[in-house]
């Protein structure tokens, strides 16, 4: 899912990769019925500790225990540092839905994206929405919390009150300063210092070992633990990046991989912010066109006029943030976050009607409710560490770039290509500019030479992972097969019956379409 807030806090739109089903499973509140919170899994017992060799971690025998509704939960060990498997260990949480049929094909691993989203919670809460009955019959379905996330050994930085101040503060540090000026950049960086210092103090060595490259090695370990000779995998959004990097690292162990809502492994943070800014601007225009055809639409006139009205609301909130009764504020960053959440699916566009109506009368409640759902916050309590994990993983996965002149040029481009929201999306690189651990990643292409066929799914109107990324990933992979859904929304396997049928047939038989079917329903 996209993170769209001010540079002083959650900078840029880089939190692209959360599948639509995971959006629906985020924390809800009374203002927004239908956005229900996830259930918690009990903490299971650990297996016998591995001997310390890398191979011994794949030989663990998980202590599976019931955790309700036919699900089983387990924790397993992983090395903190795969380069030193005899050193410190962490734990990884698994949730399994055992195969319901008698002719079992193996295990299907699922990741909903993020980075920072719980795969364990996703399977526990969304199995019937994500995995068709015939696949549930054929596969044990396992979701896991990647290292640093959720009920695996987590990254933790701030308590709830501190997080509220960080995410919902009043932007006083940068108030009165020209956006992008040296003084504004310095103030934005200073505002992040407390968050980064807390992350460094609370997490120690873990902070250097939560990159996607570490998670790929964990996934290979999990394949070994379940005893499958090849990996079967369904990854959404950021989960496609995990899957693509796995395929490139272990092409001979690729079984049946579906990468839906694909990310481009070569994209830099600037690329991601630019493409997502364009995507969400276009989705907002599509919403506006639809709204203007409906009775009760809070906008009026042409599509351009409606977009201008939204822009004016954002300008007003930017100039004078709205203060709620609990002391939190709706800044332009919070307002943009509230706009982004419903743009993940046309089914959620009705929330934007309520949002724009409330902002027009300076009511902060709907904006806070949507931002809370996005931030997994319920009644003042953060239900997960998704933001902290997102920050820690992304700052390792993307090269840290902090040249002020380049950031100013990028910000000017964003304002030009996305006039409504783009001016609030610049300076995303500040989020990792002074991160305690330097990036270790290179944004190199993948090829997975010799791998079995891999399905890459892209949606033409996807605002969070633009369609061109799916085209790029399918082209990079030697065995990539592009499946196009011509429609709106983020990811397709859970919304398009055509895509769902293709995915199901592929996971059951390995068959891929002879050509891109370009699904429309």
Find, among 120, 38, 46, 140, the residue nearest to 373 by Cα.
38
Phi, then psi, of 188 in degrees rounded to 5: -65, -40
How many whole angstroms separate alpha carbon 321 and alpha carbon 334? Answer: 10
* Candidates 97, 209, 481, 490; catalytic one: 490
Contact by Cβ (8 Å): 291, 299: yes
How many whole angstroms separate alpha carbon 410 and alpha carbon 429? Answer: 10
How many whole angstroms separate alpha carbon 213 and alpha carbon 265? Answer: 12
Degrees, nearest 5: CA angle 376-361-334:
30
Residues with Cβ within 8 Å of 284's Cβ and at least 6 positions away in sequence, in order, are 307, 310, 339, 343, 420, 421
Scan for tokens 């250097």, then name that residue.
Answer: 208
How many whole angstroms separate alpha carbon 41 and alpha carbon 152? Answer: 12
Phi, then psi, of 484 in degrees rounded to 5: -105, 135
- 3-state SS assignment for residue 136: helix
Q: Which residues are registered as beta bridge partners of 257? A: 233, 454
How many whole angstroms separate alpha carbon 149 and alpha carbon 170? Answer: 28
* Candidates 237, 358, 384, 391; catalytic one: 237
The question of whether 462 is a catalytic residue gets the answer: yes
H/E element holding 250? none
* Candidates 140, 372, 462, 479; catalytic one: 462
Q: Which two tokens stand for residue 106?
A: 């193996």
Distance from chain centroid for Cα 204: 24
For the chain, the distance separating the N- and C-terminal CA atoms, rounded to the nearest angstrom, is 23
Distances (CA, A) of 514 to 19, 122, 152: 27, 32, 40
The question of whether 30 is a catalytic residue gets the answer: no
Q: Which two tokens stand for residue 463?
A: 């605002």
The question of whether 490 is a catalytic residue gets the answer: yes
> Which of the 8 DSSP states describes residue 84?
-
Contact by Cβ (8 Å): 343, 280: yes
Just list the catalytic residues: 237, 462, 490
């Amino acid at each position: 899912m996209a993170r769209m807030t001010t540079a002083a806090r959650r900078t840029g739109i880089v939190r692209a990769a959360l599948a639509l089903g995971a959006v629906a499973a985020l924390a809800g509140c009374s203002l927004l019925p239908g956005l229900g919170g996830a259930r918690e899994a009990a903490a299971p017992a650990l297996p016998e500790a591995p001997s310390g060799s890398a191979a011994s971690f794949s030989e663990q025998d998980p202590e599976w225990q019931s955790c309700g509704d036919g699900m089983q939960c387990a924790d397993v060990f992983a090395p903190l540092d795969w380069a030193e498997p005899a050193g410190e260990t962490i734990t990884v949480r698994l949730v399994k839905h055992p195969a319901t049929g008698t002719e079992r094909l193996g295990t299907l691993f699922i990741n909903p994206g993020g980075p920072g989203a719980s795969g364990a919670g996703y399977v526990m809460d969304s199995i019937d929405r994500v995995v068709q009955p015939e696949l549930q019959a054929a596969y044990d379905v396992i979701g896991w919390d990647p290292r640093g996330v959720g009920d695996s050994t987590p990254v933790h930085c701030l308590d709830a009150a501190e997080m509220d101040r960080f995410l919902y503060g009043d932007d006083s540090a940068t108030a009165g300063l020209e956006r992008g000026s040296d003084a504004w950049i310095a103030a934005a960086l200073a505002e992040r210092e407390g968050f980064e210092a807390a992350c460094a103090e609370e997490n120690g060595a873990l902070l250097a070992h939560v990159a996607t490259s570490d998670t790929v090695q964990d996934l290979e370990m999990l394949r070994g633990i379940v005893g499958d000779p090849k990996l079967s995998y369904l990854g959404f959004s950021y989960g496609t990046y995990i899957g693509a990097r796995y395929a490139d690292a272990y092409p001979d162990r690729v079984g049946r991989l579906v990468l839906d809502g694909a990310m481009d492994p070569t994209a830099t943070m600037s690329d991601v912010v630019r493409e997502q800014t364009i995507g969400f601007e276009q989705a907002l225009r599509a919403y506006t066109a639809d709204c203007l055809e409906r009775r009760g639409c809070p906008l009026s006139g042409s599509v351009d006029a409606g977009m201008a009205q939204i822009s004016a609301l954002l300008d007003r909130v930017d100039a004078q943030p709205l203060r709620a009764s609990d002391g939190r504020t709706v800044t332009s960053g919070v307002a943009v976050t509230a706009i982004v959440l419903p743009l993940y699916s046309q089914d959620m566009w009705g929330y934007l009607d309520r949002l724009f109506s409330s902002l027009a009368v300076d009511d902060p409640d709907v904006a806070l409710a949507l931002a809370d759902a996005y931030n997994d916050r319920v009644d003042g309590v953060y239900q997960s560490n998704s933001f902290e994990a997102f920050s820690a993983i992304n700052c390792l996965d993307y090269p840290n770039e902090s040249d002020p002149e380049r950031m100013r040029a990028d910000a000017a481009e964003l304002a030009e290509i996305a006039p409504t929201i783009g001016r609030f999306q610049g300076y995303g690189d500040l989020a990792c500019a002074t991160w305690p651990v330097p990036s270790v990643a290179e944004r190199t292409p993948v090829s997975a030479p010799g791998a079995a066929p891999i399905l890459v799914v892209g949606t033409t109107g996807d605002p969070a992972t633009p369609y061109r990324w799916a085209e790029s990933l399918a082209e990079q992979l030697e065995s990539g097969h592009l499946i196009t859904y011509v429609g709106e929304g983020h990811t397709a396997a859970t919304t398009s019956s055509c895509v769902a049928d293709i995915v199901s047939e592929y996971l059951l038989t390995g068959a891929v379409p002879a050509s891109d079917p370009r699904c429309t329903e």
